[in-house]
A and B are shown apart, each in its own frame.
Chain A
Amino acid sequence: MEHRGFESAVECLPAALREKLLLLPEGVRAQCFEIRLRKQQPVVLFGAFGCGVLQSDGTLGKTAGSAAVICTGEQLDAAFHCCCEYSVYAHENDLLRGFLTFHGNRVGLVGSAVCDAAGSMTAVRDITGLNVRVARDVPGCARALLGLFRDGAAQSVILAGPPASGKTTMLRDLIVSLSSLEHEGAQKLCVIDARQELFVAHTALNCDFYRGYPMEIAIDNAVKTMSPQLIVCDEIATKREVDAICYGVNCGVRFLVGVHASSKAELLRRTQVQRLLETRAFDRAVLLASAPVGTVSAVLAGRTLFDA
């Protein structure tokens, strides 16, 4: 497996910041979801513990006093360049989409946009903030959902949850569990890893990863050339992505898609979800609770979904 977790995520930070973060107690590191760096501002962490400000003695405070660790412009630039693998030119498209991926951890970025005469964004300059989202592998966390994908129990499944509820972590675990060649009945999977967070460096998977592809192109390619039994997509959001999934469904492929939604009502209100349900191919929706990570709060099926 690819190494993930807090220690892996902080490798993109300059040594001075990294050392302070690694001084944090084990419990805090294990529960941290996000590390936020802003130019000339204190380093802020978010996690199951709430919001905390990194202190110079390696503890977490509630306020930004004189002991708070300040992220300098040079440190922010160094972290940005490290996330770009010291090759900004190789990540121009990612920058326009507002994020980079470092060791499987998504790093959101904020700066000033450069636009052309037509108003289209062409570049980002003067990075002023980074949000390092800590990705984790939790082997076995999706065990309860495996039954949905075996023996044709469900056609296609929506995995919904609020931000930081563990959707991506569960998707990764499902990918390994369903396509592992170490077990009988491994399914042929294609993973549309548009944000490069789902990739699993496992030696024996019956799975193909489309990394960094726009979702619609990847689905089209997968359906036409890879004959998948199941396509996995994370965080669908746009109409074009939904159109591509509908196309795949019409070609007879099953899907497992991740969607942002905090509740059943919010899920069913989403236009994209309504369109997916209209295909009648999505007959299960799994709702995750906001805490603890990876907790299934409900599995919606049949009339619960379609009569909404």
Chain B
Amino acid sequence: MRELFSPAVLFCALALGFSAADRLRKRETALCALRQMLLEVHLSLSFGSVPLPALLLSLSQEARFARVPFLSALTLLLQNGEALPDAWNAAAAAAASSLGKEGSALLLRLGAVLGKTDKPGQLEVLSREIAALDALCAAALQKRRRNGALYRAAGAFFGVSAFLILM
């Protein structure tokens, strides 16, 4: 029994540590991809006047934005006939798990004004939120570097310790 239980504890501790580190990495990736997406929206609005639903649907087709869960959820809702403001808010709320509370709040803030003003107004709002997202990305990167290794090491340490004690 002990021969089976000890490796199981070791495996669980390692998995917990590595999955906590992986969550940090995924959050950073999602925030960076979202930033890239907003930059693309900013660029499209600067040089064109494509309506937002069409623009978002075309961005969702691009492979580089496949890792933006917010965009996938939003696209699905739009394709189901939801109005953009409702779809945006629902997708932003659902994105809290991948982007964190700050990322979700940023999207909700953006959704309240996106598409509702003239072009200079839209570009200004987008620039401000992209700057806020820059700060979130930097914080996520720092957190991943600081805590990622720590979580993995802690998982390995507790796993090995428990393994040795139980053996």
Contact = CB atoms under 8 A, between A and B. Distances in A.
B83 A88 contact: no
Contact of B53 (A85, A88, A89, A92): A85
Nearest to B117: A88
B49 interface: yes
* Interface size grouping (class) on chain B: 10 to 19
Contacts of A78: 83, 85
Interface string B58-90: 000000000000000000000000011100000
B119 interface: yes
Contacts of B50: 87, 90
A78 B86 CA distance: 11
Contact of B52 (A86, A92, A123): A86
Nearest to A92: B118
A88 B85 CA distance: 13
B49 A86 contact: no
Contact of B118 (A81, A85, A86, A123): A123
B119 A92 contact: yes
A84 interface: yes
A186 interface: no
Contacts of A276: none
B119 A81 contact: no
B136 to A, nearest CB: 25
A88 B115 CA distance: 6
Interface string A204-220: 00000000000000000
Given A81-B115, A84-B115, A89 B84 contact: no
B119 A86 contact: no
A82 B45 CA distance: 18
Interface residues on A, range: 10 to 19
Given A81-B115, A82-B83, A84-B115, A90 B53 contact: no
A87 B122 CA distance: 9
Contacts of A84: 51, 115
B71 to A, nearest CB: 16
B2 interface: no
Interface in A77-124: 78, 81-82, 84-90, 92, 123
Given A81-B85, A82-B83, A87 B118 contact: no
Interface in A120-156: 123
Contacts of A89: 45, 49, 115, 117-119, 121-122
Contacts of A87: 49-53, 115
Interface in A52-91: 78, 81-82, 84-90
A92 B119 CA distance: 9
B61 to A, nearest CB: 18
A85 B51 CA distance: 6
A85 B52 contact: yes
14 contacts: A78-B83, A84-B51, A85-B53, A85-B115, A86-B116, A87-B50, A87-B52, A88-B115, A88-B117, A89-B121, A89-B122, A90-B49, A90-B50, A123-B118
Closest 8 CB pairs of A and B: A85-B51, A87-B51, A86-B84, A86-B115, A90-B49, A89-B119, A87-B52, A87-B115
Given A86-B115, A89-B119, 12 more contacts: A78-B83, A78-B85, A84-B51, A86-B52, A86-B85, A87-B51, A87-B52, A88-B115, A88-B116, A89-B45, A89-B117, A90-B49
